[in-house]
Copies of this chain bind each other. A is one copy, B any other.
């Protein structure tokens, strides 16, 4: 009794402290996550919000890869029916587990990637549609009087729900395919020094690279229309008015973006972009006794951590053999997240596990190198712990991420298609023994870790800000009220050209008339 009244007193005191800023505690937050690795870092924010006293409801598709109902979590979940089965979902991600290890013809790589993306998002959007048209659930959500919607805009459900329930939205993401995030934010992104995804350029481009980047930025715009056509259609159909997904996204109050300039090339930002790169690099919980023993046993050589992300835990046997062979030739011990078959004579310095505490291992002083596919979660865990990397991109934005990291001199990039034991051993030796990699990584790590406020705290702060002020309207640029022609002042330039042309024409006309009169006058005088 005493305890609860003490707590009540504390809560009241906190409320008084924030004064007229309104309530911080006990906000009601609806969360619409995206399945897969996207959920892993968003979950950190969701948990933290719940631990800070907010009432959270997470909408969970009844069939999902990584989002699960859980009674152990400090937040509530609400499951909704989706029109796909676990087998169907597995089928849509089969490509990841099987095809990414073998080469495709140059252009086919892009189209296969795109095809997979459209296929995967298509499945997810069907789930999204099932949620939106689940009248009872939507009615229930409406009645719960939420103050905020937290969502990953990789899928359109969150934005549509935010519009339908008139809730301010906080977006949590790394970025959107074809740069839709920047378009929706009205954030300038000059193609002269902001490299487009898959352009293969850094921010310092020669003339032909700039030509390529410029053309790609145009292609991207067209690609956006194709890629988001189904999102546009669903949004317009559900909301019953002509609206594009980009316009809906533009309503977002705050964008929590999982990057910073230790990773990205410096470029313009908008006021409602909050950079929370490294949010997933949470402080270590220490290793289990068994793991600690294995790691400590590596002696002065240390360990190599090897994962290919949450979606890819296995690989074809002949590929795996290359890795086992390479690892048998290095003095380091290797911890590998791998669920495939192991060879009869597995090297003693290798430990395969179905899941491994990646960040805790990278944070260990014995971590010497990190073999990764180049997902941003892994990259940031590598950067924040200062571990040089060997990178093998598989799909999506990974080849681009890898390119960014390698340009800092902290990683060696290999192709998963033609990786061989020798190249892998060489790459590992290079990042471990060439001191420049470690030095560059330590500098990058120091820059990344040196920030006035931790990313998780910043994310919580701005989420609560949106609840306190019912949005963040003061950070929304007036550019949202302009169309493309107006934004770029093309109408103004056209008008000014017409004015100038008219003035010039009138002046020429006047001069001609004057000259003619003068000539006539002088002719007349002569005739006279």
Contact = CB atoms under 8 A, between A and B. Distances in A.
A207 interface: yes
A525 to B, nearest CB: 44
Contacts of A491: 207, 210
Given A193-B482, A446-B21, A481-B204, A268 B266 contact: no
Interface string A437-474: 00000100011011011000110011001001100001
A63 B146 CA distance: 61
Interface in A487-512: 487-489, 491-493, 495-496
A189 to B, nearest CB: 9
Contacts of A267: 271, 477
Contact of A261 (B215, B266, B271, B458): B271
A496 B193 contact: no
Interface in A193-218: 193, 202-204, 207, 210-211, 214-215
B475 A261 contact: yes
A68 to B, nearest CB: 32
A188 interface: yes
Contact of A474 (B262, B474, B482): B262
B188 A190 contact: yes
A479 interface: yes
A476 interface: yes
A452 B474 CA distance: 16
Contacts of A215: 496
A478 interface: yes
A191 B187 CA distance: 14
A452 B447 contact: no
* Size band of the interface chain A makes with B: 35 or more
Contact of A191 (B450, B474, B489, B495): B489
A269 interface: yes
B453 A453 contact: yes
| This protein's copies in its complex | 2
A203 to B, nearest CB: 4
A265 interface: yes
Given A268-B269, A269-B270, A486-B192, A492 B210 contact: yes
Contacts of A465: 450
A469 B442 CA distance: 12
Contacts of A207: 491-492, 495
Given A210-B489, A268-B268, A190 B450 contact: no
Contact of A479 (B192, B453, B461, B493): B192
B469 A461 contact: no
Interface of A: 20-22, 187-188, 190-193, 202-204, 207, 210-211, 214-215, 261-262, 265-272, 442, 446-447, 449-450, 452-453, 457-458, 461-462, 465, 468-469, 474-479, 481-482, 486-489, 491-493, 495-496
16 contacts: A20-B442, A190-B487, A191-B489, A192-B488, A193-B477, A193-B478, A207-B491, A207-B495, A214-B492, A266-B475, A266-B478, A268-B270, A268-B477, A446-B468, A446-B469, A450-B469
Report the 3 A-B pairs with minimum CB-CB distance, sorted nearest first: A203-B478, A188-B188, A193-B478
